[in-house]
Amino acid sequence: MRLWFNPASPFARKVRIVAREAGLAEEIEEVSIAVSPVKPHAELARENPLVKIPALTTPDLGTLYDSAVICEYFDSLHRGTPLVPRAGPDRWRALRLQALGDGILEAAVLMRYESAVRPRAQQWSDWTAGQLAKVRGGLSALEREAPGWNERFGIGQITAACVLGYLDFRFPAEDWRGSGPALAQWYEGIARRPSVKATVPA
Protein backbone atom coordinates (compact mmCIF):
# COMPACT_ATOMS: atom_id res chain seq x y z
CA MET A 1 0.00 0.00 0.00
CA ARG A 2 1.15 3.52 -0.69
CA LEU A 3 0.03 6.46 1.46
CA TRP A 4 0.27 9.96 0.04
CA PHE A 5 0.62 12.47 2.85
CA ASN A 6 2.22 15.64 4.14
CA PRO A 7 3.60 15.63 7.71
CA ALA A 8 1.89 18.94 8.47
CA SER A 9 -1.58 17.67 7.59
CA PRO A 10 -3.62 16.74 10.68
CA PHE A 11 -5.88 14.53 8.55
CA ALA A 12 -2.88 12.63 7.24
CA ARG A 13 -1.58 12.36 10.79
CA LYS A 14 -4.86 10.76 11.88
CA VAL A 15 -4.47 8.09 9.21
CA ARG A 16 -0.84 7.49 10.14
CA ILE A 17 -1.70 7.08 13.82
CA VAL A 18 -4.43 4.58 12.96
CA ALA A 19 -1.99 2.63 10.78
CA ARG A 20 0.41 2.35 13.69
CA GLU A 21 -2.28 1.47 16.22
CA ALA A 22 -3.47 -1.28 13.85
CA GLY A 23 0.06 -2.65 13.40
CA LEU A 24 0.13 -1.88 9.68
CA ALA A 25 2.94 0.68 9.47
CA GLU A 26 5.45 -1.77 7.98
CA GLU A 27 3.03 -2.67 5.19
CA ILE A 28 2.65 0.94 4.03
CA GLU A 29 4.97 2.98 1.85
CA GLU A 30 4.57 6.57 3.02
CA VAL A 31 5.10 9.14 0.27
CA SER A 32 5.55 12.66 1.63
CA ILE A 33 4.65 15.38 -0.86
CA ALA A 34 4.23 19.14 -0.85
CA VAL A 35 0.63 20.21 -1.39
CA SER A 36 -0.99 23.54 -2.20
CA PRO A 37 -4.65 24.52 -2.60
CA VAL A 38 -3.72 26.58 -5.67
CA LYS A 39 -0.98 24.48 -7.32
CA PRO A 40 -2.20 20.87 -7.65
CA HIS A 41 0.37 18.11 -7.35
CA ALA A 42 0.40 16.38 -10.74
CA GLU A 43 1.28 12.87 -9.55
CA LEU A 44 -1.28 12.98 -6.74
CA ALA A 45 -3.91 14.19 -9.22
CA ARG A 46 -3.52 10.90 -11.09
CA GLU A 47 -4.29 8.99 -7.89
CA ASN A 48 -6.96 11.23 -6.38
CA PRO A 49 -9.19 13.40 -8.61
CA LEU A 50 -9.74 15.76 -5.67
CA VAL A 51 -5.95 16.24 -5.40
CA LYS A 52 -6.14 16.07 -1.61
CA ILE A 53 -4.25 14.19 1.05
CA PRO A 54 -4.29 11.70 2.56
CA ALA A 55 -4.81 9.25 -0.28
CA LEU A 56 -4.13 5.53 -0.09
CA THR A 57 -3.28 3.42 -3.12
CA THR A 58 -4.33 -0.17 -2.42
CA PRO A 59 -3.49 -3.38 -4.30
CA ASP A 60 -7.11 -4.34 -4.95
CA LEU A 61 -9.41 -1.35 -4.45
CA GLY A 62 -7.63 1.38 -6.35
CA THR A 63 -7.06 4.61 -4.42
CA LEU A 64 -9.04 5.46 -1.30
CA TYR A 65 -9.36 9.04 -0.14
CA ASP A 66 -10.79 10.95 2.79
CA SER A 67 -9.19 10.26 6.15
CA ALA A 68 -12.31 8.69 7.67
CA VAL A 69 -12.56 6.17 4.82
CA ILE A 70 -8.87 5.27 5.01
CA CYS A 71 -9.08 4.87 8.79
CA GLU A 72 -12.03 2.48 8.47
CA TYR A 73 -10.12 0.52 5.83
CA PHE A 74 -7.05 0.17 8.06
CA ASP A 75 -9.29 -0.83 10.96
CA SER A 76 -10.73 -3.64 8.85
CA LEU A 77 -7.28 -5.15 8.27
CA HIS A 78 -6.33 -6.07 11.84
CA ARG A 79 -7.76 -8.38 14.49
CA GLY A 80 -7.19 -6.25 17.56
CA THR A 81 -9.77 -4.16 19.36
CA PRO A 82 -11.58 -2.12 16.69
CA LEU A 83 -10.65 1.55 16.62
CA VAL A 84 -14.06 2.20 15.05
CA PRO A 85 -16.72 0.14 16.85
CA ARG A 86 -18.53 -2.15 14.44
CA ALA A 87 -22.11 -1.54 15.57
CA GLY A 88 -24.42 -0.20 18.24
CA PRO A 89 -24.37 3.04 20.27
CA ASP A 90 -20.58 2.93 20.71
CA ARG A 91 -20.14 3.16 16.94
CA TRP A 92 -22.26 6.30 16.67
CA ARG A 93 -20.58 7.90 19.66
CA ALA A 94 -17.18 7.26 18.12
CA LEU A 95 -18.19 8.56 14.68
CA ARG A 96 -19.80 11.64 16.20
CA LEU A 97 -16.60 12.38 18.15
CA GLN A 98 -14.56 11.90 14.99
CA ALA A 99 -16.87 14.29 13.13
CA LEU A 100 -16.47 16.88 15.89
CA GLY A 101 -12.70 16.66 15.67
CA ASP A 102 -12.72 16.74 11.88
CA GLY A 103 -14.91 19.85 11.96
CA ILE A 104 -12.46 21.61 14.27
CA LEU A 105 -9.59 20.64 12.00
CA GLU A 106 -11.39 21.83 8.87
CA ALA A 107 -11.92 25.25 10.46
CA ALA A 108 -8.31 25.41 11.69
CA VAL A 109 -6.88 24.44 8.29
CA LEU A 110 -9.01 27.10 6.61
CA MET A 111 -7.63 29.65 9.08
CA ARG A 112 -4.13 28.52 8.20
CA TYR A 113 -4.78 28.86 4.46
CA GLU A 114 -6.27 32.31 4.97
CA SER A 115 -3.20 33.62 6.80
CA ALA A 116 -0.44 31.71 4.99
CA VAL A 117 -1.69 31.36 1.41
CA ARG A 118 -4.19 34.08 0.62
CA PRO A 119 -2.64 37.48 -0.28
CA ARG A 120 -2.81 39.84 2.69
CA ALA A 121 -4.93 42.38 0.83
CA GLN A 122 -7.58 39.70 0.22
CA GLN A 123 -7.73 38.26 3.73
CA TRP A 124 -11.10 38.56 5.48
CA SER A 125 -10.77 39.02 9.23
CA ASP A 126 -14.47 38.40 9.98
CA TRP A 127 -14.33 35.10 8.11
CA THR A 128 -11.24 34.05 10.07
CA ALA A 129 -12.97 35.03 13.31
CA GLY A 130 -15.90 32.83 12.33
CA GLN A 131 -13.61 29.84 11.82
CA LEU A 132 -11.89 30.52 15.15
CA ALA A 133 -15.29 30.52 16.86
CA LYS A 134 -15.91 27.04 15.45
CA VAL A 135 -12.53 25.88 16.75
CA ARG A 136 -13.20 27.23 20.23
CA GLY A 137 -16.75 25.90 20.32
CA GLY A 138 -15.51 22.47 19.31
CA LEU A 139 -12.78 22.55 21.94
CA SER A 140 -15.37 23.35 24.60
CA ALA A 141 -17.31 20.27 23.55
CA LEU A 142 -14.16 18.13 23.68
CA GLU A 143 -13.36 19.50 27.14
CA ARG A 144 -16.76 18.35 28.41
CA GLU A 145 -16.25 14.86 27.00
CA ALA A 146 -12.59 14.22 27.83
CA PRO A 147 -13.15 13.08 31.46
CA GLY A 148 -15.22 10.14 30.20
CA TRP A 149 -12.61 8.79 27.78
CA ASN A 150 -10.59 6.97 30.42
CA GLU A 151 -8.14 4.63 28.64
CA ARG A 152 -10.06 4.53 25.37
CA PHE A 153 -8.00 5.49 22.29
CA GLY A 154 -10.35 4.89 19.40
CA ILE A 155 -11.01 6.91 16.29
CA GLY A 156 -12.63 9.77 18.21
CA GLN A 157 -9.76 10.18 20.65
CA ILE A 158 -7.21 9.80 17.84
CA THR A 159 -8.91 12.69 16.02
CA ALA A 160 -8.93 14.76 19.22
CA ALA A 161 -5.19 14.17 19.63
CA CYS A 162 -4.66 15.42 16.06
CA VAL A 163 -6.72 18.52 16.83
CA LEU A 164 -4.62 19.44 19.84
CA GLY A 165 -1.36 18.64 18.10
CA TYR A 166 -2.31 20.77 15.12
CA LEU A 167 -3.20 23.73 17.33
CA ASP A 168 0.18 23.45 19.06
CA PHE A 169 1.90 23.24 15.67
CA ARG A 170 0.11 25.99 13.75
CA PHE A 171 -1.53 28.16 16.42
CA PRO A 172 0.74 28.10 19.49
CA ALA A 173 -0.72 31.39 20.73
CA GLU A 174 -4.15 29.77 21.08
CA ASP A 175 -4.16 28.85 24.78
CA TRP A 176 -6.41 25.81 24.58
CA ARG A 177 -4.83 24.36 27.72
CA GLY A 178 -5.88 27.37 29.76
CA SER A 179 -9.52 26.90 28.88
CA GLY A 180 -9.39 23.08 28.73
CA PRO A 181 -7.70 21.60 31.80
CA ALA A 182 -9.27 18.16 31.30
CA LEU A 183 -8.09 18.08 27.69
CA ALA A 184 -4.64 19.26 28.74
CA GLN A 185 -4.34 16.48 31.32
CA TRP A 186 -5.53 13.87 28.83
CA TYR A 187 -3.22 15.08 26.06
CA GLU A 188 -0.19 15.10 28.33
CA GLY A 189 -0.46 11.33 28.63
CA ILE A 190 -1.56 10.62 25.06
CA ALA A 191 1.31 12.67 23.61
CA ARG A 192 3.70 10.01 24.94
CA ARG A 193 1.96 7.20 23.09
CA PRO A 194 4.31 5.72 20.44
CA SER A 195 1.91 6.24 17.51
CA VAL A 196 1.39 9.87 18.49
CA LYS A 197 5.08 10.59 19.09
CA ALA A 198 6.06 9.01 15.77
CA THR A 199 3.76 11.32 13.78
CA VAL A 200 4.51 14.72 15.32
CA PRO A 201 4.90 17.24 12.46
CA ALA A 202 8.37 18.73 12.15
pTM of the full structure: 0.95
Look at strands 55-57 and 29-32 and give their pairing. unpaired
| Cα angle value 57/63/65 (rounded, 5°) | 110
Report CA dihedral (54, 143, 90, 17) to the nearest 10 degrees.
30
- pLDDT above 90 for 165: yes
Q: Cβ distance 53 to 4 under 8 Å? A: yes
Which tens digit of pLDDT belongs to each residue from 92-107? 999 999 999 999 999 9
Number of Cβ within a 10 Å radius of residue 66: 17
Q: What proportion of the chain, given as a percentage, has pLDDT over 70?
A: 100
- pLDDT above 80 for 70: yes
Q: What confidence category does residue 113 fall into, taking pLDDT thresholds of 50, 70 and 90?
A: confident
Pick 146 or 42 by higher pLDDT: 146
Measured CA to CA in angstroms, residue 10 lies from 18, 60, 82, 148 at distances of 12, 26, 21, 24
Which tens digit of pLDDT belongs to each residue from 8-25? 999 999 999 999 999 999
